[in-house]
Structure 1
Amino acid sequence: MVKNVSYKLWGFLLFVSACGFVAYLKSEQYIELYVQKHEDMDTCTLSAYPPMLETIEKTENVETTNENHSPIILLEWYKAFGRVIDDYILRGCGGCLYTQNRSKLMEKNTKAVVMHFAELKKSTMPKERRPDQYYVWYTMESSLTLYNKDNLHLDSFDGVFNLTMTYRRDSDVYAAYATAHLAYLQANGGPRPKTELQMDELIKQKTHVALWAASNCATNKGAIERLKYAKQMIRDGLDLTFGGKCSGDMERKQFNYTKYKFYLAFENSWDCKDYITEKFWKNSLFAGTVPVVIGPPKADYEAVAPPNSFIFAQDFATPKKLVEYLQFLDKNDNAYKQYLVWTTLDASQMPWYKKGSKQCHLCQVMTKLTSKTTDSPVFSSLSRTNFSVSKWFFGTDNPKCFS
């Protein structure tokens, strides 16, 4: 009887330990992912993503954490797209407290106030501000999209913000839609590389050639041009499954991306610096599918993507030449396989290996900026008393982005 109880107790303890380990792996796997609502989400919905970052990082109760008894407070002033989150501690990033609680505005440890562009209004901004507080301007929309917004008046906020948090790598806080490391974890189902056998099995699952799903058909030049380009590829013989509102599918049918060899990850904003969205990550690489891309310059993709993981459409003189290449790869598994070799590499070979979330990076930045032991400022113009978000965001992007 005693032995049975002992076995049951050990079994229970092993079960609890296993659950804890799985939870840890999950947190490691998804710590980098934070996806915003986007006006051109195509067939992708937020519910299709893994658990959101805030539910993963909130692994310790704020009151019981001992990582930092007086954590730096990061206050999200506006609830981005109405998204409500509870307070949580950014463990492993400096121990900052991330909150939407406006009552903490004037607390001495509230060092950063994050303001999302969509809700930003002079009339609803804080009425008080301490001189040691950094205002962080935050967006995941392309510079072209914001440039075309008549009611944005971004230049009226010159001298208000100190820091930027966007998808661009030259932001103070890098807020990527995803990373190569996360794509690796998603495509492989964990941190271990695929074997040759597993890669062959993945290719066998791919019973369709190409997929494209889009619902933004004409809001700007990029949206119009990508639709023309895709339709020309169909006329040139590409076996393309076409979904989304642009195809007439008003129900936005969901697809199993893994079944396709290629996904047309065409952005609605072309030539805009670093603008690489969920089309490239979730719709393509996460599923072990090869993205065919049009968007920012090729060098921007190469800086963040797994090695040799995508096909740059503009490397081909015409859509027809691109179609012929995709048809060649469709009929030659060994050639196609070269675009999946990245899944067999070690995870540490992925660009931005173990890069944390945008909130994590913000915490790290603020920890350095507020540290008394920092010998030199993190940024060349630390105070940024006359910083213009408008001139930076629009003025330093590629001119072609706005043409």
Structure 2
Amino acid sequence: MPADATEPLILFYTTLFGKPVDIASIQCDLPGRWTLDKRRIAEAAAVVFHIPDYREIGDAWKYPGQYWIGWTMESRQNYKRFADPDYMRHFDFTMTHERRSDIWTPYLPRACWWDEVLAKPVAAKTEAAPLVLFQSAPLNHSRRVDLVSELARHIGVDSYGRHFRNRTIEGPDLGRTTKIETVSRYRFCLALENSSETDYVTEKIFDAFEAGTVPVYLGAPNVDEYVPPNSYINAADFSDAADLAAYLRHLVETPDAFEAYFAWRSLPLPERLVARMEEVEASGFCRLMKLVHQQMQRRPAPQAGRARLPFGLRSYLRTRLRKWRKKVSA
């Protein structure tokens, strides 16, 4: 494999949920090249495969000395192949939100984001309903659907997403900007993960912080490792939805108790959280390039051998047929 140890080539073999990976936006000072051109796979030092787009992987040839990267930000419950050791053994390294990954890529925002959030004043809470929800997918591994259904029987919930919708955006919908502005008018925001897995702390709780509201969280059991203390309400701490609703009503009726959830905004971020942010200050792709450089420096003379089909001939033919049909129908 003619990989250049000084400027290794990294190939993104699959799409990202059907769309090309935006390699033009990758910021990395390390020498290296990025490509989406699968015809260059033989010269790639590393090949990145987005696990949720597994249907695009089966026809890939692996060349001697090449590193394969399994990449996903999704939970194991949502994508079973991610949790299948027999499938994941085809990849030399993983790049995921899990702390144990070779290239850790959490949803945790960078330090500059926290600075901007803390500099913003908390907006007035003008909506009658205490709770707001933006949820589009019905995925329910965390039992969030059950929680919302029961919670709505005990306390007001305004829902703007495709799921449970009972409110609509007034005026133009500018996407995430409109979502943050809408959430900012509510005391509490339901930040409900679709799965309850260690380290699966997504943008939902961080969006609530940005909006200046109190997240009511359901999801990762170790969420405390990713957020400031006393900054959110953990739905898992309550016996049932009625108990949670009673506590939220108490906070509405007790301003001092409600305001206590904003005290973290005037304090330094905890050292553990700062240390984690420093770990991921460089982008995940830049840390991937660093890993490739390190591996190529450790590698002995170029390995001999022939390219092989890790997933087998049947998978190769099935994938090629699927891509051909897609091309013909386009």
Q: Which amino acid aligns with 2:34?
A: Y
Tell me how far 1:160 sits from its aligned partner: 1.6
User: Quick one: structure 1 residues 88 and 207, their matched pair in 2 at CA, closer, same or farther if it must change by over 3 Å?
Assistant: closer
Residue aligning to 1:292: 216
Q: Which amino acid aligns with 1:241?
A: D
Q: Quote the residue 2:199 is aligned against.
A: 274
Post-superposition Cα deviations, 1:316-344, rounded to whole Å, max 9, x if no partner, equal: 22322222222232333433333223333
Q: Which residue of 1 aligns with 2:285?
A: 359
Q: Secondary structure at the match of 1:74?
A: strand
Match of 2:74 in 1: 141
**Whole-angstrom distance in 2 between the partners of 1:364 and 1:357:** 11
Which residue is equivalent to 2:294? 368
Select 1:83's aligned residue among 7, 20, 25: 20
The residue number in structure 2 matching 1:342 is 264
Instruction: Report the Cα distance in structure 1 between the residues aligned to 2:205 and 2:213, rounded to whole angstroms.
Output: 10
Deviation at 1:371, TM superposition (A): 3.3
Q: Hey, what's the Cα distance between the residues in 2 that align with 1:368 and 1:241?
A: 50
Taking the aligned partners of 1:153 and 1:311, their CA distance within structure 2 comes to: 29
2:228·2:269 contact (CA, 8 Å) conserved in 1?
no
Give, in whole Å, the separation in 1 of the partners of 2:116 and 2:212: 9
Q: State the AA in 1 paired with 2:149.
A: K
**Structure 1 pair 153/121, CA: closer, same or farther in 2 (3 Å)?**
farther
Q: Is the 8 A contact 2:158 2:167 kept in 1?
A: no
Residue 125 (structure 2) pairs with residue 206 (structure 1)? yes
Residue 157 (structure 1) shift: 3.2
Q: Look up the SS of the partner of 1:291 in the other structure.
A: strand
Residue in 2 that maps onto 1:258:
184
Cα distance, 1:89 vs structure 2: 6.0
Aligned partner of residue 115 in structure 1, secondary structure? strand
**Deviation of the 1:346 alpha carbon:** 3.9
1:97 aligns with 2:16: no
Using the size of structure 1 for normalisation, the TM-score is: 0.60
Matches of 2:26 and 2:239, distance apart in 1:
51
CA contact under 8 A between 1:90 and 1:360: conserved in structure 2? yes
In structure 2, do the counterparts of structure 1 residues 123 and 277 end up closer, same or farther at CA, with 3 Å as the change threshold?
closer
Pick the aligned partner of 1:317 from 239, 243, 255.
Answer: 239
Q: Does 1:70 align with 2:16?
A: no
Rounded to whole Å, the distance in 1 between the matches of 2:293 and 2:23 is 22
Decide whether the 8 Å contact of 1:87 with 1:99 is kept in 2.
Answer: no
**Which residue of structure 1 lines up, in the alignment, with residue 328 of structure 2?**
none
The verdict on how the C-alpha distance between 1:348 and 1:258 changes in structure 2, with shifts beyond 3 A counting, is: same
Instruction: Output the CA distance in 2 between the equivalents of 1:249 and 1:330.
Output: 22
Q: Distance in 2 between matches of 1:342 and 1:364?
A: 35
* Separation in 2, partners of 1:360, 1:289: 33
- Pairs within 5 Å for 1:182-197: 183-188=113-118, 194=119
1:216 aligns with 2:137: yes
- Matching residue within 52, 58, 63 for 1:118: 52
Alpha-carbon displacement from aligned partner over 1:346-390 (angstroms, at most 9, x marks no partner): 4684442242322122223333333359xxxxxxxxxxxxxxxxx
CA distance in 1, matches of 2:26, 2:160: 40
CA distance in 1, matches of 2:167, 2:258: 33
Cα distance, 1:324–1:89 mapped onto 2, change above 3 Å = closer
Tell me if the contact between 1:73 and 1:96 (Cα under 8 Å) persists in the aligned partners. yes
Give the C-alpha shift of residue 73 in structure 1: 2.8
* Distance in 1, Cα, partners of 2:184 & 2:52: 34
Separation (CA, whole Å) in 2 of partners of 1:290 and 1:335: 12
Check if 1:227 corresponds to 2:141: no
1:51 paired residue number: none
Alignment correspondent of 1:127 = 61
Identical-residue share of aligned pairs (%):
25
SS in 2 for 1:113: strand
Tell me, in whole angstroms, the C-alpha distance in 1 between the residues paired with 2:243 and 2:112. Answer: 32
> How many equivalent pairs are there?
281
Q: Indicate yes or no: 2:108 matched with 1:178.
A: yes
Instruction: Rate the CA distance shift 1:154–1:221 in 2: closer, same or farther, 3 A.
Output: closer
1:308 to partner: Cα distance: 2.5
Matched letter for residue 124 of structure 2: Q
Q: Map 1:293-308; keep pairs closer than 5 Å.
A: 293-297=217-221, 300-308=222-230
**What's the C-alpha RMSD, in Å, of the aligned pairs?**
3.3
Per the alignment, do residues 340 and 123 of structure 1 end up closer, same or farther by CA in structure 2, a change over 3 Å counting?
A: closer
CA contact (8 A) 1:85 1:99 kept: no
Amino acid at match of 2:132: L
Change (3 A) 1:143 1:87: same
